[in-house]
Structure formats: structure tokens, C-alpha cells
């Protein structure tokens, strides 16, 4: 077999092997959010302000920076809760842990379903900051949650909580928690006993 | 604060291609998405300058390649998952009746690529998946054209020795 033929075959193999691999539709948005966060942090550092100064969101300011213990990972760089519920990152079936066992700072944004609107939708209702033991406990609870093989559609939940954190590779990731029992949708995790996680505001 | 003009259009139009490129470099989809996200984040910050240049793709390829090689040198990348394509298999089997054959082919290709050193693997992917010239490869890898030639030669020799290019001759017809 000639070298030229081998190269042709290699090209075909590389192309064929990647057919069907598609990117998450939220990938551009995730990159933009991370870039905005980085630029803001750099500008603030240059201006001599603490990062805390720009953490104001619609419902108040997160208690940042996160406390960080020696054996936990880096904290999320996300400082603002989005106005709307974001999509979970890296959709797709996975048997990996949702969160690192000892994540760094986690920003948890809570959304409630506003039934007074013509088309009910979730609105930002609050947030909490998890770090240290609290973040580890949250990761344990989520990682031990039920995961079904087949995702299925859930009705709109009255309360949804979105966790922003750094994954094991050190990159920003998002997990969406809802109370639709026993289901999962990619990286959207759902607790079979929602009251343990989610408390009505 | 919105995206710089043209960024979102570029990222949306090229995300699948970039993730496929990342998948061939890293060997799993989530790492590929992490790699593309990191690269696009850096491109976003320099979009004004990058988009005025002649070739946005070349810049993105360079950022992805150098970022990947940097990650490979870090300690946590020495931990390798035992089942690289598990989630790929799960998704493919649902979506595609021929998924098992596709997955077998992917798995075989990944195992062969895993045997190559990171720079040789990158050269193969840049040259034969992205179809870059040797000059463009050298730019992406920040090395000389001579280095690209020698790395390509070594990689092809290794692939030939593993019978990878002959063993899966039917795979490319799909």
C-alpha cells in the first residue's frame, strides 16, 4: 500500500470517526459568559477594586470571595445570577460525577415559577454561596442522586436551582436542579425527594 | 455587555467542527468541549483584533492546540479514564442503528491515537483532519516546518507499525 493511499485512508478514518459528534448548543454562550467574567475581574483588579464590588445581582450581592480550604478546588468565576434559567452544561448521558467531591466556591441561583405571567416562566428569586463543608455536602447529595438511563420531559417545576462551579478539569460548569422526581436530562439532575434540596421561598 | 460583533455567529457556525477537532486531540467529548470553551473564551477577549486578521480559524486552531498541549503537561491529565468513549457509545446507540459499528471504529481510532505522543497526535489531526498545510501546522504548533515534517513522519511510521491505517480500511467508506 502506497504512502499516498495510507494518507487518504487516514483522512477518511478521521472524518468518519467524528461524524455525529455535535457540540452543546450553549457552548458559545458559556464561552462568552466566562470571557465577560474574566474581563471584568481583570478590569477590577486594575482599578484597585475588590471583586466583591461587582457581585450585585437583582437580589443582592453574593458573599464573595469564597472561603477556600486547602483541599478544595477553585471557586467559580460566575458572580452574577442570570435573569433566566440557563441550560445545564455538557448535555448528554454521562455516568461521571456531576460535581467534584470537594468543589471550590459554588454559586447557587434560585428561580421560582411566576404563574402571574401570561406565559409562566421562572424568575430569579435568590441565591446562596456554598463553599468548604457546605459545598462538599451539596456535591455528595447531587452525585448520589438518581440517574435514569433515558431522559424524559418534566413539567415546569415551581422551584429550580442552578449551580455554577468549576468542574474537575477546572472549567466552569452548570448543573440545574429541579424537583421532577426520578429523572435526569443530561447534566440536569433531579432529586427524587425534592424537599430535601429545594425549599419553597 | 453583549458579545463583540460577529463572535456569536462565528462560534455557532463552527462549534461542531471545533468540538470534533478537540475530540480527536483529547479523546473524549467533555474534555473537547472544555477545550473549545477555553479557546473561544480567549478568542472573545481578543475578537476585535482577531476578526480583523486574515484567518480567524488559524488563530482558533493555534489556541486550541497550544492549550491542549499545556493541559497535557499538567499533573491531572496523567489520570486517564478507563472507558474513554462510554458516553459516546450511549448516545450513539440511541440515535443511530449502526452505532455499534461506528463506536467500534471510533474506539479503535482513539486507541491508536492514544499511543502517539501529544505533539505527534496534534500534527496528525491538524494535517489530516483539518487539512492544514505544513506551514499552517507549524504556525498552530509554534514550531518550524521541519519539525512538522519530522513529527508527521514519526507519527505515520507509528500508525503504520500499529496497522491502524490498514486494519480499518473499510471504516472510511461510511
pLDDT of residue B98: 57
Q: A53 is written with which cell numbers?
A: 464590588
Q: Would the CB atoms of B44 and A171 count as touching at under 8 Å?
A: no
B161: domain CATH number is 1.10.10.10
Residue B80 has pLDDT above 80, yes or no: no
Closest CA to A156 of A122, A133, A127: A122
In the sheet that holds A184-185, the strands lie side by side as A121-130, A106-114, A159-166, A172-178, A188-190, A184-185
CA-based nearest distance B52→chain A, Å:
19
Same domain, B74 and B146: no
Q: A124 is written with which cell numbers?
A: 430569579
In a domain, B52, yes or no: yes
Say if residue A65 is preceded by a cis peptide, omega within 30 of 0.
Answer: yes
pLDDT of residue B77: 47
Q: Sorting pLDDT into bands at 50, 70 and 90, what band is B22?
A: very high
pLDDT of residue A137: 86
Reduced to 3 states (helix: H, G, I; strand: E, B; else coil), residue A175 is strand
Q: Sorting pLDDT into bands at 50, 70 and 90, what band is A157?
A: low
Residue B172 has pLDDT above 50, yes or no: no
Mutate to test the interface with B, among A18, A29, A150 (most CBs of B within 10 A): A18
In a domain, B101, yes or no: no
Q: Sorting pLDDT into bands at 50, 70 and 90, what band is A95?
A: low
Same domain, B125 and B172: yes
User: What mean pLDDT comes out for the span B91-120?
Assistant: 69
For strands A121-130 and A159-166, give the pairing.
unpaired
Mutate to test the interface with B, among A1, A11, A14, A101 (most CBs of B within 10 A): A14
Same domain, B3 and B74: yes
* Alpha helix (H) residue ranges in A27-127: 27-47
Could you count the other beta carbons within 10 Å of the beta carbon of residue A80? 20
**Could you give the ipTM of this predicted complex?**
0.76
User: What mean pLDDT comes out for the span A72-100?
Assistant: 73
Q: Would the CB atoms of B36 and A9 count as touching at under 8 Å?
A: no
The H or E element spanning position B31 is: helix B29-45
Q: What is the DSSP string of B80-139?
A: --SSTTHHHHHHHHHH-TTHHHHHHHHHHHHHHHHTS-HHHHHHHHHHHTS---HHHHHH
Q: Sorting pLDDT into bands at 50, 70 and 90, what band is B152?
A: very high
State the residue range of the domain holding B160: 115-174
Q: Would the CB atoms of B109 and A171 count as touching at under 8 Å?
A: no
Least confident window among A28-37, A127-136, B36-45: A28-37
What confidence tens digit (pLDDT) does each residue in B50-67 have?
888 778 899 999 999 998
Residue B106 or A94, more confident: B106
Query: How far from A170 is each of A34, A60, A131, CA to CA, in Å?
Result: 12, 27, 16
Q: Sorting pLDDT into bands at 50, 70 and 90, what band is B155?
A: very high
pLDDT of residue A198: 42
The span from the CA of B66 to the CA of A11, in Å, is 22
Chain B CB contacts of A27 under 8 Å are 11, 15, 19, 33, 36-37, 40
Chain B CB contacts of A73 under 8 Å are none
Checking A188-195 for CB contacts under 8 A at 24+ apart, the result is A188/A88, A188/A91, A189/A98, A189/A142, A189/A145, A189/A147, A190/A145, A190/A146, A190/A154, A191/A141, A191/A142, A191/A145, A191/A146, A192/A145, A192/A146, A194/A157, A194/A159
pLDDT of residue A80: 83
What confidence tens digit (pLDDT) does each residue in A22-42 have?
888 888 888 888 787 777 655
In a domain, B78, yes or no: yes
**Residues making up chain B, counted from first to last:** 174
C-beta of residue A184 within 8 angstroms of C-beta of residue A144: no
The percentage of chain A sitting over the pLDDT mark of 70, rounded to a whole number, equals: 59
Same domain, B67 and B126: no
**Which residues on neighbouring strands pair with residue A184, listed in sequence order?**
A189
Q: Sorting pLDDT into bands at 50, 70 and 90, what band is A2?
A: low
Same domain, B121 and B70: no
Same domain, B16 and B78: yes
Residue A8 has pLDDT above 70, yes or no: yes
pLDDT of residue A69: 55
C-beta of residue B81 within 8 angstroms of C-beta of residue B28: yes
C-beta of residue B92 within 8 angstroms of C-beta of residue B99: yes
Chain A CB contacts of B11 under 8 Å are 27-28, 31-32
Specify the pTM. 0.54
pLDDT of residue B99: 54
Residue A81 or A168, more confident: A81
Q: Sorting pLDDT into bands at 50, 70 and 90, what band is B110?
A: confident
pLDDT of residue B164: 58
In a domain, B99, yes or no: no
In a domain, B89, yes or no: no
For strands A184-185 and A172-178, give the pairing.
unpaired
For strands A159-166 and A60-61, give the pairing.
unpaired
User: What mean pLDDT comes out for the span A94-117?
Assistant: 79
pLDDT of residue B10: 93
The span from the CA of B156 to the CA of B150, in Å, is 10
Q: Which residues contact B62 (CB under 8 A, 6 or more apart)?
A: B139, B140, B142
pLDDT of residue B104: 66
Same domain, B120 and B71: no
B21: domain CATH number is 1.10.1740
Domain count within chain B: 2
User: What mean pLDDT comes out for the span B10-27?
Assistant: 93
What confidence tens digit (pLDDT) does each residue in B113-129 have?
888 999 999 999 999 99
The span from the CA of B9 to the CA of B153, in Å, is 37
User: What mean pLDDT comes out for the span A166-186?
Assistant: 66
Amino acid at each position: 500500500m502506497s504512502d499516498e493511499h495510507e494518507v487518504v485512508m487516514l483522512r477518511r478514518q478521521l472524518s468518519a470517526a467524528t461524524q455525529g459528534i455535535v457540540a452543546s448548543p450553549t457552548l458559545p454562550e458559556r464561552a462568552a459568559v466566562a470571557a465577560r467574567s474574566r474581563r471584568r475581574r481583570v478590569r477590577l483588579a486594575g482599578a484597585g477594586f475588590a471583586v466583591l464590588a461587582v457581585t450585585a445581582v437583582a437580589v443582592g450581592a453574593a458573599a464573595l470571595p469564597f472561603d477556600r480550604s486547602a483541599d478544595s478546588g477553585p471557586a467559580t468565576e460566575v458572580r452574577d445570577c442570570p435573569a433566566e434559567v440557563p441550560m445545564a452544561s455538557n448535555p448528554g448521558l454521562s455516568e461521571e460525577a456531576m460535581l467534584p467531591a470537594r468543589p471550590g466556591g459554588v454559586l447557587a441561583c434560585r428561580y421560582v415559577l411566576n404563574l402571574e405571567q401570561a406565559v409562566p416562566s421562572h424568575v430569579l428569586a435568590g441565591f446562596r454561596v456554598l463553599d468548604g463543608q457546605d459545598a462538599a455536602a451539596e456535591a455528595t447529595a447531587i452525585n448520589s442522586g438518581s440517574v435514569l438511563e433515558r431522559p424524559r420531559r418534566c413539567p415546569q417545576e415551581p422551584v429550580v436551582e442552578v449551580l455554577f462551579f468549576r468542574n474537575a478539569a477546572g472549567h466552569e460548569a452548570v448543573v440545574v436542579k429541579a424537583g421532577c422526581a426520578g429523572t435526569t436530562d443530561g447534566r440536569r439532575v433531579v432529586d427524587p425527594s425534592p424537599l430535601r434540596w429545594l425549599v419553597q421561598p | 455587555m453583549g458579545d463583540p460583533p460577529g463572535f456569536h455567529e462565528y462560534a455557532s457556525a463552527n462549534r461542531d467542527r471545533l468540538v470534533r477537532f478537540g475530540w480527536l486531540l483529547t479523546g473524549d467529548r467533555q474534555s473537547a468541549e472544555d477545550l473549545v470553551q477555553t479557546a473561544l473564551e480567549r478568542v472573545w477577549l481578543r475578537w476585535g483584533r482577531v476578526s480583523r486578521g486574515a484567518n480567524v480559524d488559524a488563530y482558533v486552531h493555534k489556541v486550541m492546540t497550544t492549550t491542549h498541549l499545556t493541559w497535557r503537561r499538567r499533573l491531572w491529565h496523567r489520570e486517564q479514564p478507563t472507558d474513554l468513549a462510554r458516553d459516546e457509545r450511549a448516545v450513539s446507540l440511541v440515535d443511530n442503528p449502526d452505532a455499534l459499528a461506528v463506536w467500534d471504529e471510533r474506539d479503535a481510532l482513539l486507541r491508536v491515537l492514544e499511543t502517539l505522543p501529544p505533539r505527534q497526535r496534534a500534527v496528525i489531526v491538524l494535517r489530516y483532519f483539518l487539512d492544514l498545510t505544513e506551514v499552517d501546522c507549524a504556525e498552530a504548533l509554534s514550531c518550524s516546518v521541519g519539525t512538522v515534517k519530522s513529527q508527521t513522519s514519526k507519527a505515520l511510521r507509528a500508525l503504520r507499525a500499529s496497522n491502524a491505517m490498514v486494519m480499518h480500511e473499510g471504516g472510511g467508506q461510511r
